[in-house]
Structure 1
Amino acid sequence: MTIGPIGSSKVSLTRRMARSGLALEFRDFGLDVIAKARICLLDFLSCAFEAGDHPWSRQAIAITQPGGSATIIGTSRLSSPADAAFANAVMGHGLVREDMHAASIAHHGVVIWPTLLALSEQVPMHGTRLLAAAIIGYETGARIGRALLTSELARLYRPTGLVAPLGAALAGSYALRLSEDAATSAVAIAANTSSGLNEWPHAGGSDMYFHPGFAASNAIKAVGLAAAGAFGSETILEGEAGLFAAYRRQAAPDAITLFSDGESEIMAVYNKPVPACNFAQTSAQAALRISHELTDAGEIDRIIIRAPEAAVRYPGCDAKGPYRNALQAKMSIPFSVAVTLARGEIREENYARLDDAAILRLVSVTELEADAGFTAAFPGKQGAEVSVHLRDGRMLRHSLADVIAASPADIRTRFRAAAGRIIGGERAYLLEQLIDGCEQLGDARIIAAQCRLDTSERALRSAS
């Protein structure tokens, strides 16, 4: 077995991660970790169902090739695994409400779940295999992201596009029971596809929505190539032209250990309560509390928002307009705070009207500042403070030490609503039951199949 570059006895970082990931069994994970994986799957599907009619979703579906056996969520269309994963990832990202891992500044779920769902329809896969693969995928992408990403790097490159393909590739390798050599090559090949530029917040483009689509599609191809015998550069992380040298311009760490100290990175993932940028979440929640004390948003003279430096510096988060599209508004912390103060609620419809003069006035009188305390606590906590100065001299202030994540009950409620609108309430209920009982599924492909418009209840019963 090759264990490192020619002439070296050192085991590569990629191989070490592949070796440790493939050695795991479902029983190695705690009940809390398994429950988190299930809720993340429900959350992903909720977003995909709800965003299915958005322009970027329709565009992604339109370029998929018909035929094949992989489901495109919320449609009757079947396509190749790579094409289905692409479209499903774009839909899962379409609301900007996908799950978030703050330390890697990345959205792993919108790449991992489309990859695994597509693969589950190609090869029989037990439900326990599906869940374990996902947990390993989150772990891999998050651990690499923790080591690789900085706020400076994230201003230029999309973190999800850089590290999520690698996590999804190891997840797919585990799901398909590839050998250590093949899994190592799959991750290495996937690293060659790391991509995604952060120019879209400045230019008003919709590029962002497609980043996880490329990542999931490329992960499928990397796994397929490795399974077919392709040989990847296993020093792709630490090599002189590897991922760390290319993007961080620093040497890779000596080790990137999966499940270090028994901790699972998926437990550090939080599910967004707000359909907006990760960094706008806490500020919007603080603004919501202030809105309950406001009689009239017209009384506001000045707004000051304090947040971690990473939030202030992330592309588009400090944008004060003009906003060409809803995505720019969703990225903007000042807009999210202003619209929440004006409307007294947080919902998708907040980003439908970008020309509201009252809201734009509030944006214009908003200041966004980096706070030393919040910066020191990040990424362990993502705090924010909003201070509203009124024309009569009063000030309203609310501070949150950390974002308040959507609860499992919140996620189930919005899943039922979104899935029910597309596949009907009864089938949405059955899909939720399948995911809750995933460990008992002998063939996990029924989860993806139940997301199709043409899946029959008889097919569901016969496979369960």
Structure 2
Amino acid sequence: MTESTLSQQLARFAAETTYDSIPAEVLASVKSRVLDILGICAAAAPLDTSRAARKWASAQGGPGQSSAVGVSDLLPAGQAAFTNGVLAHSLDYDDTHLPSVLHPSASVIPAVLAAAEAHNASGREAIRAIAIGLEICVRLGMAGYDYETKNSTFFEHGQHATSICGAMASAAAVASLRGNAQTISDSIGVAASMASGIIESNRTGGTVKRIHCGWAAQSGISAAGLVDHGLTGPPTVLEGRFGFYQAWLHGSYSKEAITQNLGQRWSVQDIFFKPYPANHFTHAAVDAAARVRNQGIVPAAIKSLTLGVPAPALRTIGEPIEVKRRPETGYMAQFSGPYAVAAGLLGGGGLEVGLDDYSDELAQDPLRQDIMDKVTVVENETCTEIFPEQFPSVLTVHLHDGRTLTEEVLTNRGGPQRPLTFDELAQKFRDNARRTMSSSDMGRLEDACRTLDDQDNLHTVFAELRAIDSLA
């Protein structure tokens, strides 16, 4: 008997993993991530891009199967997954795995929830499938992580690993709801031909990145559905001569990252939650600037600021500096190191810094622009050494009175070293969802996510999300 291929090993893991075999901390983490993603979706519902996604999905027609945020009628599962995946990633508020720099939940959770509704799966079955999908997504992404350069090879090639790996992980997760190892392997093989995404919009603008996780979620459902109708995928889709890693990474990848301790060592609980609605590279800058503010330093007292970041992060949040100092929209501000410093110095509302701090209006606020003009973004060697296990920052503040202050933030809030409690995540959920949901609807959805493993009818669970009125 020949050795199993990589996709076959992943498929066997997915098929053989039961709900009861998953560690309790992973199950709890999944429920928290569902709550987190649905709150983000609710907050993102009014965006123009969200409206476009809903209108496009609704116009495709087909049987009503699954819930899409802001769409009163049920949509075909793939269209619901697309819509919710777009919303889940649109605010850059979704979770991140380090050091792969993947956002696993934004594709896997919309895909699984839509498929679970369509096939009348229970909450327990959905939790199991989400855990499987998240784990596979992380492992596929980590296979493309280069320990020598300390960077994702996907990222170096301009590829959005989140959507690329997310499509295959979503396919495996959806297929695991009702399929055996062979159908799961085939689903991975089919989805590999549907996985895509480039990240130039991180640098110079454009909103196309917002659809990436929606496309991945829809691709996952489509791949699994095509396999149900007889389509097959190559068993060597990952490692083959013309397989996934050869096509995307020119054959530079780690098999061990995919298979080592598979089913024994889980990565799900180590995925970082995001406390701030911006590119994760900027988060430590927000914290560092907030520490300066908490010392009583006001912007008028500041002569200049130097934000030290890891070398690989510099391109995303510090270059070109003239663009990063003048974000035209709230979305562009999410990828700006200078704006993160301004946000931290000025503080937020109910949260330290929240969605309200990344509006189009505030991106062009004269006070924030004045602060951003004072910010220079440079490489910091200490940060580069730590990256990408963390996304650290060192902020040096030069004051008009001649003093110099330095704040180092070397670990990220929301990760294993500085975790967010369930209450903090619930606060984030409520701050997000209050924008489009009533208090009673928020409470019911929060309770449903907290008890997701006891839910049998997911149509009922997500009724509040369908009721959101954001189509106008």
* TM-score normalised over the length of structure 2: 0.89
Report the equivalent of 2:208: 207
CA distance in 2, matches of 1:31, 1:418: 27
**Structure 1 position 241, deviation (Å):** 1.7
Q: Structure 2 counterpart of 1:425, which letter? A: S
CA distance in 1, matches of 2:339, 2:460: 41
CA distance in 2, matches of 1:260, 1:391: 56
Q: Structure 1 counterpart of 2:183, which letter? A: A
**Is 1:282 aligned with 2:284?**
yes
CA distance in 2, matches of 1:348, 1:448: 23
Q: 1:102·1:379 contact (CA, 8 Å) conserved in 2?
A: yes
Question: Partner of 1:53: helix, strand, or coil?
Answer: coil
Deviates more, 1:83-92 or 1:428-437: 428-437
**Is 1:168 aligned with 2:170?**
yes
Deviations 1:40-65 (A, max 9, x none): 00000000011100111111111013
Deviates more, 1:309-318 or 1:242-251: 309-318
Question: Partner of 2:119: helix, strand, or coil?
Answer: coil
Report the equivalent of 1:6: none
- Structural mapping, 1:217-296, within 5 Å: 217-255=218-256, 256-257=258-259, 260=262, 262-296=264-298
The match for 2:27 among 11, 25, 34 is: 34
Deviates more, 1:116-125 or 1:427-436: 427-436
Report the equivalent of 1:145: 141
Gaps of 5+ in 1: 4-8, 455-464
Report the equivalent of 2:128: 132
**Structure 1 position 445, deviation (Å):** 4.0
CA distance in 1, matches of 2:435, 2:306: 39
CA distance in 1, matches of 2:315, 2:263: 31
**Structure 1 position 267, deviation (Å):** 1.3
The match for 1:384 among 388, 393, 418 is: 393
**Structure 1 position 320, deviation (Å):** 4.0
Q: 1:151·1:313 contact (CA, 8 Å) conserved in 2?
A: no
Residues 61 and 413 (structure 1 numbering): CA distance in 2 closer, same or farther, change over 3 Å? same
Residues 80 and 21 (structure 1 numbering): CA distance in 2 closer, same or farther, change over 3 Å? same
Residues 319 and 32 (structure 1 numbering): CA distance in 2 closer, same or farther, change over 3 Å? farther
**Structure 1 position 214, deviation (Å):** 0.7
CA distance in 1, matches of 2:14, 2:453: 19
Report the equivalent of 2:438: 424
**Is 1:196 aligned with 2:197?**
yes
Q: 2:203·2:316 contact (CA, 8 Å) conserved in 1?
A: no
**Structure 1 position 417, deviation (Å):** 4.5
Report the equivalent of 1:116: 112
Deviates more, 1:443-452 or 1:236-245: 443-452
Q: 2:288·2:344 contact (CA, 8 Å) conserved in 1?
A: no
Deviations 1:410-460 (A, max 9, x none): 221232344455443223222222222222223444333443219xxxxxx
Q: Structure 2 counterpart of 1:354, which letter? A: A
Residues 194 and 108 (structure 1 numbering): CA distance in 2 closer, same or farther, change over 3 Å? same
The match for 1:56 among 49, 74, 93 is: 49
CA distance in 2, matches of 1:182, 1:141: 18
Residues 320 and 27 (structure 1 numbering): CA distance in 2 closer, same or farther, change over 3 Å? farther
Q: 2:310·2:387 contact (CA, 8 Å) conserved in 1?
A: yes
**Is 1:17 aligned with 2:10?**
yes
Deviates more, 1:30-39 or 1:70-79: 70-79
CA distance in 2, matches of 1:204, 1:273: 23
Report the equivalent of 1:366: 375
Q: Structure 1 counterpart of 2:429, which letter? A: F
The Cα RMSD (Å) is 2.3
Report the equivalent of 1:349: 356
Q: 2:54·2:71 contact (CA, 8 Å) conserved in 1?
A: no
Gaps of 5+ in 2: 146-150, 415-419
CA distance in 1, matches of 2:261, 2:71: 37
Residues 385 and 316 (structure 1 numbering): CA distance in 2 closer, same or farther, change over 3 Å? closer
Report the equivalent of 2:300: 298
Q: Structure 1 counterpart of 2:24, which letter? A: L
CA distance in 2, matches of 1:423, 1:351: 20
Q: 2:97·2:104 contact (CA, 8 Å) conserved in 1?
A: yes
Q: 1:56·1:206 contact (CA, 8 Å) conserved in 2?
A: yes
Q: 1:330·1:351 contact (CA, 8 Å) conserved in 2?
A: yes
**Structure 1 position 308, deviation (Å):** 2.4
**Structure 1 position 11, deviation (Å):** 1.8
**Is 1:324 aligned with 2:338?**
no
Q: 2:14·2:181 contact (CA, 8 Å) conserved in 1?
A: no
The match for 1:158 among 149, 160, 185 is: 160
Q: 1:320·1:363 contact (CA, 8 Å) conserved in 2?
A: no
Q: Structure 1 counterpart of 2:220, which letter? A: A
Residues 19 and 367 (structure 1 numbering): CA distance in 2 closer, same or farther, change over 3 Å? same
Q: 2:138·2:267 contact (CA, 8 Å) conserved in 1?
A: yes
The match for 2:340 among 326, 336, 339 is: 336
Residues 194 and 261 (structure 1 numbering): CA distance in 2 closer, same or farther, change over 3 Å? closer
Question: Partner of 1:451: helix, strand, or coil?
Answer: helix
**Structure 1 position 203, deviation (Å):** 3.4
% of aligned pairs identical? 25
**Structure 1 position 324, deviation (Å):** 2.8
**Structure 1 position 319, deviation (Å):** 4.3
**Structure 1 position 29, deviation (Å):** 1.7
Deviations 1:99-144 (A, max 9, x none): 1112221111110111011111211212221111111111001011
Deviates more, 1:292-301 or 1:390-399: 292-301
Residues 318 and 147 (structure 1 numbering): CA distance in 2 closer, same or farther, change over 3 Å? farther
Q: Structure 2 counterpart of 1:104, which letter? A: S
Question: Partner of 1:59: helix, strand, or coil?
Answer: helix
